[in-house]
Structure 1
Amino acid sequence: MADKIFASVVNQKTVTQVQLQVLTIIAAQIASVIEAQIGVTVQTDDDLLDI
């Protein structure tokens, strides 16, 4: 019985680690998308200023 409890605790830890990694990846992707959008708006602003 103790072995099963220990195994479930280990499984929960690995699952939370995977979830954290996934959240980190998603956050990095969102950040890069936001940076790309800001970069695009800055570029269009520069174009408007050049005209």
Structure 2
Amino acid sequence: VDSIEEHFARSLGKLWPLTTSSNDDRNSPLAASDVDDHFAKSLGATTWEKLKEKS
């Protein structure tokens, strides 16, 4: 789990808190779009859209 936290901290910077207990706004539209952008860039937009359609 720590490596996952570290990955998002490196990828999203200040938008990804390492301590989630003090940050209730992590599900805000801005954060969600930043996460979408991250996965679209890392996986490719087409692959990311297909994965989102499956879930």
TM-score (norm 2): 0.30
Task: Using CA pairs under 8 Å that are at least 6 residues apart, name the structure with larger relative contact order, 1 or 2.
Answer: 2
Structure 1 or 2: more helix by fraction? 1
TM-score (norm 1): 0.32
Larger Rg over CA atoms: 1
